[in-house]
Amino acid sequence: MNIKWKVLNSIEQLDAIISESNNKSSVIFKHSTRCSISTMALNRLEKLENSFYDKANFYYLDLIAYRDVSNAIAEKLSVHHESPQVVWVENGDCTYDASHMEINCKELVELLK
């Protein structure tokens, strides 16, 4: 990956991300390494300008390897589990989520303005 993804791999880290979102927004990308749609969504995200990634904390979750973390995201942030999925965390809550072909890079850029 050529962008500034931080790997999300524990529930404790998720709790810290939720807490830290009170100071700076976080974006979690839930990626299924077995899904071509997920790979396409990841590729679209990685084509955004690098300056985009300075405006929030960006986390990458391999949900095949860390299913428990994916389930915790759904539970703690009250979002329906999807894959691929972008989950926007702000002030401790999910304020935006999108999945599959609904992952829209232009919408994400607008949210960061």
Q: Is the residue at 19 inside a domain?
A: yes
Find the mean pLDDT for residues 11-36. 95
pLDDT at residue 80 greater than cutoff 80: yes
Percentage of the chain surpassing pLDDT 70?
Answer: 93
More confident residue, 1 or 101: 101
pLDDT at residue 110 greater than cutoff 90: no
Q: What is the DSSP secondary-structure string of 10-65? A: -HHHHHHHHHHTTTS-EEEEEE-TT-HHHHHHHHHHHTS-GGGGGSSEEEEEETTT
Q: Is the residue at 1 inside a domain?
A: no
pLDDT at residue 1 greater than cutoff 50: no
Find the mean pLDDT for residues 4-11. 92
Q: Is the residue at 91 inside a domain?
A: yes
Number of domains within the chain: 1
The domain containing residue 104 runs over which residues?
A: 6-111
